[in-house]
Structure 1
Amino acid sequence: MSAAELEPGFIGDRYRLERLIARGGMAEVWLGHDTFLDRQVAIKVLKRHIARDETAIERFRREALACAGLNHPNIVAVYDSFAHDGFQVVVMQYVQGRSLRDLLDKKKKLTPGLSIMMGAAIAAALDATHQHGYIHRDVKPGNILVRPDGHFLLADFGIAKAINPAEGSDLTSDNIMMGTAKYLSPEIVRGKPLDGRADLYSLGLVLYECLSGKVPFLSDNDADTALARLQREPTDLGHLRPTLSPRLVRVVHKLLARNPDHRYQTGEDTRVALLEALTDERDDHSTLTPPSGQRVVLERSTTTTRPSERRRQRPAPRVALGGLWHSTTVRLLVATLILTGLVITAVLRTRDPDNVAVPDPAVAEVMTPVASGPAMITAINSFDPNGDDGVENEEIIGALVDKNPQSSWATSCYADKFFGAKERVGVLVTLSGAGTGMLRVNFANGPIGAEIYGTATTPPSGFDGWGAPLAKEYRTRGEIVKFSVTAPVTHLLIVLTEVGKSVACSTTNPFQGRINEVAFIPA
């Protein structure tokens, strides 16, 4: 479909096409506006030459039918389906965010806590799908979306299959492999009859990749990659990442059992097992950090309150850290809040039009500090106004204040030690009130160039407007650097102007800034 075949304008009487989000081999996805309900939508349009294939049209229609009957907070909703001037059209939720594939390509692997949140959310989505009578058959990072607030959604039911199809209604034989080779279940490879446990195996593969940074089975071609899971067991996840809790490792390997009878039998069983892994002692080696887009807010308490009271006192979407965070009850509470999150609004931006994610252009809202005793850090956020979404690895920013010297926040990997055209990346620190003192920053690698800025008013949304730096430092290696803050400020901005090479990056993009910890010591 060329640009001339479908252009901005009305389609289906009520939907206005605004701009093309992505284009792939089979379909295009547009950002649209539903003029009847006054809301943004994602409009997926099957390409005209594909639409001549009756099987493709029927599969496209069945995708809409499979999703239309599903009403779940972790599944991208389908609103409408129709034909328009020779085009097959599906209208879906528009989800701001990005795909898990994008996230893994950028970060390689996730924290155990964030991986558990993802797995539990998708397990819940799969449970609803299976109860509705369908198998997804294509669970993979590219079909898992994450909003800026850390809410995960399952997308793309394009090759979903009825568990018990009517006679002659199945579009694919059991002997035909459908899906992506790296994420196929053994029974799909063998051409065996399928049920929901095939999707749970695929979810296990996704979890394995999130935790280890790689898939367990990968060969030179798709055929060998698919067959590898029939020939050997995956490498022990605990050996690849020794700090993982034994319970979490066991959950993932149970999902990867070749025999479906040896796996968790339902998505709900999987969800419960994953959440229980949050309570394992060794999970403290990698503290759960707030997902992308959520503010990292530290709360101080001098009295003992029940978890339910803390929940009422905490304004969403803040995430409590510090001593309270290590409480099993609070961690489970936060897990539940994230998993039952608010109703979905919608996505898409990868190059795959079946799964497009558009980053939130807004910079995270800045909390107004409230003076209460000596100034302390109450919130911390990444600050990247020169980037495409205003933040930089926001989902792990909590590592800076988790009091765990082994964890760290890192920038993305860059080809240039000066961040290329962006020139700088920052971290915004919010204090409880105007104060003076010392800002201590533990830089994990070097060389490092850093500048510190401060303001006692609302912080500027860009690097301009902060005035002259309070201090500048250049160190040839990673070390703790102390910056003196002599004038009262409510916000501090740590600006990285130069970074060194990192073993976590590729040779093409070798430069990355890493910080282990940030602390403010009041005068």
Structure 2
Amino acid sequence: MTSINDSHGPPSRLDNAQVLADRYHLDRRIGQGGMAEVWVAIDEQLDRRVAVKWLKSNLATDAVVAERFRREAIAVARLNHPNIVSVHDVFEHDGRQAVVMELVEGRSLRQVLDSQKRLGPELTIHVGASVAAALDAAHAAGFVHRDVKPGNILVTEDGRVLLTDFGIAKGLDGVDEDLTSDNVMMGTAKYLSPEQVRGHKLDGRADLYSLALVLYECLAGRVPFLGQSDADTALARLQRDPTDLAHLRPTLPINLVNLIHRTLARNPAHRPATGGELRQELMSVDTTPPLIDGTPTEPPAPRTHPVRPGESGRLPRVTTTVTPPPVKTTTPPQVFDDPSLASARPIRQPWLPIGLAASVVVLLLGALILSNRDTNSSSNVSPLPEITTAPVAERNSEDPIILEDVEGSLSPETQIVMSSTSIKVRAWDPFGDNGSENDAQAPLAIADGSRDTAWSTECYSDQYLGAKPGVGLVVSLPELSNGRVEFETLNAPFQIDVYRTDAVEPPLSLQSWTQVGSTSYGVDPGVVAVSINEASTHLAVWLKELGPDEACSSANPYRGRIGELQWLMNS
């Protein structure tokens, strides 16, 4: 890797200065992968900073690995394109192959997505068009990249987007011996093309499929195919289609959605033929969002993997729970935030024409990179808050659980615990086949002093619910009010978001709700309390990660359970 902000730990410096090939003075290590270390170095002949990718010493004696490493340098050296990281030199030092590359001042797209979760359409188009142009040049030179993924895409302070890491690139002409096994799928499981999974002969359209997966993730905040193992993840794209982006983000330009889904066609013949063609189509997308009313125009894709658990078998009573720290009620500004999440009643904002948007894209990317210029990857990622656990004392069922006061919340004396008849709860599954999930159990989530009564999701094969972004409960409040919602999560680990609205009826689309604070998460069952400072009519408790449940089958072992839900209304 050649980005100075792409390390996986604190930079390492050599105790004694080392010079490779009597020319490259190693300064500090900025990253390492399975094959190589990456160092910032000074080219003493040309007086410039470069990146030196140096094969690890334990692999130096592996002839196949060393030759593959050398061929990467040769492959990239043949490419001269502004969206491909340049190779300056290749040599051997102390029996270890080394490649000297352009030093990119920036971050990987992986780091950007880890911190921002998802991008706006203009930025996604900019990234896609840049990488498509790079792939077009590589394909014209006779190479398939085979590992297009966010970690191999770099963004710079001035808005450039570059493709890197041709370590498993393969010649299109088939003349050169391929140094990878015929029985091994080369690439990263989440971003493989169907023909890679099947072991078929590849051409440039395989890379375009992988790029479309990256663009899908940029817009949706997640890849479309995930399984319990790499093999499950890889095979998923052969068994089903990705969830429609228009259902996940209804405000996306429809032409962009259609183009990405067409590039994700299983049959390569149905995709754009070349990187140049894909780039041209991306640049031609009208970024005006569609007019929507929040109601899906067609039913969501049917669920194929979860099954309903048997009636027999309940989890044992939990006698001790843990209390995660309260979630703050303010959300930091997001550079790439989706306008549809700005308020419960979003105001339509005009989207920029693509020509004008290009300059805005550069400014946004520059601001993003500069804000993280002097940090490593661990600080660039926005982690979920750390959980500190503490036992909760046994309580009377009539008493509310009072957590430590959080910023902006009122003291317990000014809050009224609403009775179980004052709030109404229903199950909500907007991405499922009928909009609901175990709705008959939903009232069991309301606080009654017993952890044996709770609402449960169906059982899933994937703890992240496969193709669905989540499932949850809608809590209808007795009146327009603010206060605090509290509930217990009876399975773990968990990730839960809370949303609010002041609309008369709860919105049908997740994008029409407003998220309160950040994601609550934990590795043990516990109590979640979220302060709602704005007057609201409905709340949504949204599960994004499910824990294992012994009441489920081994094929579908994950289930979410919510209980003891109550609304503490401010007086």
Query: Which TM-score band applies after superposition, normalised by the shorter structure?
Result: 0.5 to 0.7
Contact between 1:135 and 1:160, CA under 8 Å: does it hold in 2?
A: yes
| Residues in 2 aligned to 1:281 and 1:5: alpha-carbon distance in whole angstroms | 52
- Percentage identity across paired residues of the two chains: 51
Equivalent residue for 1:227, pick from 226, 232, 235: 235
Summarize the Cα distance change of 1:249–1:7 in structure 2 as closer, same or farther, 3 Å threshold. farther
1:325 is displaced (CA, Å) by 8.3
The match for 1:272 is: 280
One-letter amino acid of the structure 1 residue matched with residue 78 of structure 2:
G
Count, aligned residues? 350
Give the gaps of 5 or more residues in structure 1: 293-323, 348-356, 362-386, 394-410, 418-445, 450-474, 479-499, 513-523
2:210 paired residue number: 202
Describe how 1:68-83 pairs up with structure 2 within 5 A. Answer: 68-83=77-92
Deviation by residue 1:377-397 (Cα, 9 ceiling, x = unmatched): xxxxxxxxxx779x999xxxx
Partner of 1:502: 517
Of residues 134, 144, 158 in structure 1, which corresponds to 2:153? 144
- 1:215-274 deviation digits (Å, cap 9, x = unpaired): 111111111111111111111111111111111110110110000000011111111111
Whether 1:328 aligns to 2:365 is: no
Aligned to 1:420: none
- 2:23–2:44 contact (8 Å) kept in structure 1: yes
For structure 2, the residue ranges without an aligned partner over 5 or more in a row are 1-11, 294-332, 337-348, 389-405, 410-481, 485-498, 500-514, 531-571
Aligned to 1:242: 250
Measure the CA separation in 2 of the matches of 1:192 and 1:93.
34
Residues 73-472 of structure 1 correspond to what in structure 2 (within 5 A)? 73-166=82-175, 169-172=177-180, 174-282=182-290, 326=351, 328=353, 330-331=355-356, 334=359, 359-361=372-374, 414-415=385-386, 447=407
Is the Cα contact below 8 Å between 2:122 and 2:357 reproduced in 1? no
Where 1:224 maps in the other structure, the secondary structure is helix
How far 1:280 moved relative to its partner? 3.4
Q: Distance in 1 between matches of 2:354 and 2:134?
A: 24
Which residue of structure 2 aligns with residue 452 of structure 1?
none
Distance 2:522 2:111 in 1: 19
Question: Contact 1:117–1:335 at 8 Å: present in 2 too?
Answer: no
Q: Distance in 2 between matches of 1:186 and 1:84?
A: 39
State TM-score, norm by structure 2: 0.54
CA–CA distance in structure 2, aligned partners of residues 269 and 192 of structure 1: 23
Q: Which amino acid aligns with 1:101?
A: R
| Structure 2 counterpart SS, 1:182 | helix
Structure 1 residues 217 and 337, CA, compared in 2 at 3 Å: closer, same or farther? Answer: closer
Question: Match of 1:360, as an amino acid?
Answer: R
| 2:101 counterpart SS class | strand
Separation (CA, whole Å) in 2 of partners of 1:209 and 1:258: 18
Larger radius of gyration: 2
Question: What amino acid does structure 1 have at the position aligned with 2:40?
Answer: L
Which deviations, in whole Å up to 9, do the C-alpha atoms of 1:31-75 show, x marking residues without a partner? 101111111101011012211111111100110011111111111
Aligned equivalents of 2:371, 2:99: Cα separation in 1: 18
CA offset at residue 507 of structure 1?
Answer: 4.9
Partner in structure 1 of residue 41 of structure 2: 32
1:100 CA displacement:
1.2
Contact 1:9 1:16 in 2 (8 A): yes
* CA drift at 1:122: 0.8
Q: CA deviation at 1:335?
A: 7.8
Q: Distance in 1 between matches of 2:27 and 2:188?
A: 31
- The secondary structure found in structure 2 opposite 1:176 is coil
Distance change (3 Å), C-alpha of 1:30 and 1:511: farther
Specify whether residues 283 and 51 from structure 1 end up closer, same or farther in structure 2 by C-alpha distance, changes over 3 A only: farther
Letter in 2 for 1:59: R
When residues 274 and 13 of structure 1 are mapped into structure 2, their CA distance, relative to the original with a 3 A threshold, is: same
Cα RMSD of the aligned pairs, angstroms, is 4.2
Deviation, structure 1 residue 503 = 4.3
1:150 maps to a residue whose letter is G
Give the deviation of 1:155 after TM superposition. Answer: 1.0
8 Å CA contact 1:502, 1:511 repeated in 2: no
* Alpha-carbon distance change, 392 to 170 in structure 1, aligned in 2, over 3 angstroms: closer
Measure how far apart 1:174 and its partner are. Answer: 5.0
Q: CA offsets per residue over residues 330-359 of structure 1, 9 Å max, x none?
A: 436538989xx99xxxx9xxxxxxxxx995
Rounded Cα–Cα distance in structure 1 between residues aligned with 2:292 and 2:358: 17
CA contact (8 A) 1:96 1:359 kept: no
Q: In 1, are the aligned partners of 2:13 and 2:27 still within 8 Å (CA)?
A: no
Q: Relative to structure 1, is the Cα distance of residues 284 and 124 closer, same or farther in structure 2, using a 3 angstrom cutoff?
A: farther
Kindly state the Cα deviation for residue 117 of structure 1 after the two structures are TM-superposed.
Answer: 1.2
SS at match of 2:37: strand
**Residues 98 and 358 of structure 1 are in contact (CA less than 8 Å); yes or no, is this contact kept in structure 2?**
no
2:286–2:354 CA contact under 8 A, matched in 1 = no
Query: For residues 224 and 336 of structure 1, do their structure 2 counterparts lie closer, same or farther at Cα, with a shift above 3 Å needed?
Result: closer
In structure 1, distance between residues paired with 2:241 and 2:192? 14
Does the Cα contact within 8 Å between 1:114 and 1:291 map onto a contact in 2? no
- Whether 1:48 aligns to 2:57 is yes
